[in-house]
Chains A and B, each alone.
Chain A
Amino acid sequence: MVYTIKNLLENEHNNTKAPANLKQNVFCSIEYLDVVKVLLEFFIIIPIIVIQDIA
């Protein structure tokens, strides 16, 4: 079979699949970061808005 550089590069890992634990890692990290985001909003952004309102 004749490959061009483009399909040679694109075919290098043709049959490789992402490891199964990757999905769990991604979704756990997202859950964690979502919580951090909510906490940040609660403890930093909301007090700033309240202080601005008072001022």
Chain B
Amino acid sequence: MTFVNMIILFQTNQEKESFEKLYDKYIDIVYRKCLSYLENYEDAQDAAQEVWIKVYFALSSFERRSVFSTWLYRITVNYCITALKKRKYFFSLNELEEAGFEIEDLYPNIEILISNREDVTKVLSVLSKDMKVLLLMKYAEGYTYDEIAQITGLGVSAVKMRIARAKKQLQNAFH
């Protein structure tokens, strides 16, 4: 049975078995995404649980205008960003608009040389958490600067500056 059929089956008769199959297929990806944003196993577990509860109750109204996975990832990212905002995670970013130097995307095609998988975590650890979240939104989720600004409640220039700085930090540390 295809995943589309599973969704239809769930929508027509609330078949829990279909939902369970969707869960089994996507749970690891959702959990990893939560972990990337929240950087804490307990928080990631709580977030993943809440996301799947939301999905269960919202799936009946899912209109299949987008692919299920895209819809699921958006719910996950939105949930994580809301959780970070509740912790006033982005508060410190407001002060970043201070500098007033020219904002431009200085390192659009940065590539980082990594010899083994363990280094991925090491590379990302040079970034502060808020910078990493902004990079995730920009490069992993594909949000525009305007969308990131809207979601996080920051100014567009602050978002651009922060992302440019994050990329510069990565380049300085590993080139």
Q: A-side interface residues toward B, CB under 8 Å?
A: 1-6, 8-19, 22-23, 25-27, 29-30, 33
Contacts and interface: CB of A to CB of B under 8 A. Distances in A.
Interface of B: 16, 20, 23, 27-28, 30-32, 35-36, 41, 45, 48-49, 52-53, 56-57, 109-115, 117, 120-121, 123-124, 132, 135-136, 139-140, 167, 170
Contacts of A12: 32, 36, 120-121, 124
B28 A23 contact: no
B31 A22 contact: yes
A17 B132 CA distance: 21
B44 to A, nearest CB: 9
7 contacts: A3-B120, A8-B114, A11-B117, A17-B28, A22-B27, A22-B31, A26-B49
